[in-house]
Structures are given as C-alpha cells and as structure tokens.
Amino acid sequence: MQRFARWVLGYHGCTKELATQLIGGELAVEAWRLSENPHDWLGRGIYFWEHGPERAAAWAHRRHGSDADVVGAIIQLGQCFDLLDVRFTHLLLPAYERERELVDDIGGVMPSNTGRTPELGKRELDCLVINSFLQASPGEEFQTVRGAFWEGQPAFPGAMIMRESHIQIAVRDRRCILGVFRPT
C-alpha cells in the first residue's frame, strides 16, 4: 500500500446484522464479502459512497427496508484506479477492444449496460471491462476503484447538475479499510 495515499470516509448501506457484526468486531474486515455481481458499476469490491452517509442509508432502505443500516469506514485509497483521472480512463478502450475481440472469436454477444435510465441499472459492460483491465494489469495491483456517477433529475431547469450525483468507491483490497464506525 502506498505510504501516503489519500484517505476518504466511505459509507456502506447494509443490514443491521452486518453493521453490528462489523462495528462490534464479530466479523473482521478481512472477512467482509466482496460484491462480485456481473452488473457492479466499478467491478468487484466492497462498495461505498464517498462522504455520502445519506445516500448509503437511502440505498439500504430501498434494499433492506426496516432492516437497513449503514457502516462508515476510513478508506485509504492506496493504488487507486481512479476514473476521475484521465490517466486511467484512457486505459479502458484497449480493455474493451480486447474483450470485444474475445467475444467475437467465440461468436458471443458483448454484455450491455441496461436499466430504466442511462445512469441507473445493470452496468454489465462497464463491470466486464473494468474487471478485465484490472485482472490483466501486469505488475499493477489496484486496491480500489473510484468513479463519479451522475444520477437523478436536474437540480434546476436546464441544469447539467443532477440531484443524486455521487462518488462511489469499490474496495478490492480489504487492507485499505483502516477502520469502521457507526455514523451518527
């Protein structure tokens, strides 16, 4: 891990049971299950809203109802594949082309990003390309992936600022989670 890598506060929406286990030390951070859904926006990892406890709570309530809770975490980004940095976004097209060629060679169909709106839904193509790039990166062990997502309705008529935009982090290396806490 980079010695002076920046750190952020992240918030993870979950069940009350998981929050209690993590915060109480019954479940070690090292045992926290990574999400590996084929539609995860940033590929495999434990997902956090950067500086967004309300967003994590809203997501948890939609998913878990009255059993919803939020875990806060201090995250050292470490070796971060940061999609807010053009140095990294430029690497995605070659990864996409490599996947496209593999799928074409076997006569398959590339997954696509689908959903009710362009910003929501299943990000199967994004997930495939990001995971493919990160798995094929020789000598680069990316510990986190960070990206911005524009979501929701315009903040005002004609705006390009959306009401629910956020930054999300997928932690791939649990050592980047320096501690957990219960947000107040």
The structural domains of the chain, with segments of one domain joined by +, span 7-181
pLDDT band at 123 (very low <50, low <70, confident <90, very high): confident
**Distance between alpha carbon 113 and the CA centroid of its chain, in Å?**
16
State the pLDDT confidence band at 108, using cuts at 50, 70 and 90.
Answer: very high
Give the DSSP letter string of 126-141.
HHHHHHHHHHT-TT--
What does the pLDDT read at residue 116? Answer: 67
Q: How many residues does the chain have?
A: 184
Convert the pLDDT of each residue in 132-169 to its tens digit.
999 887 667 899 999 998 888 899 999 999 898 999 99
Q: At residue 120, does pLDDT exceed 70?
A: no
Question: Which tens digits make up the pLDDT trace of 19-74?
Answer: 999 999 999 999 999 999 888 889 999 999 999 999 999 999 999 999 999 999 99
pLDDT of residue 18: 98
Closest CA to 124 of 132, 110, 112, 135: 112
Query: Could you tell me the pTM of the whole model?
Result: 0.89
Looking at residue 164, its pLDDT comes to 87
The pLDDT assigned to 64 comes to 97
Residue type at position 125: L
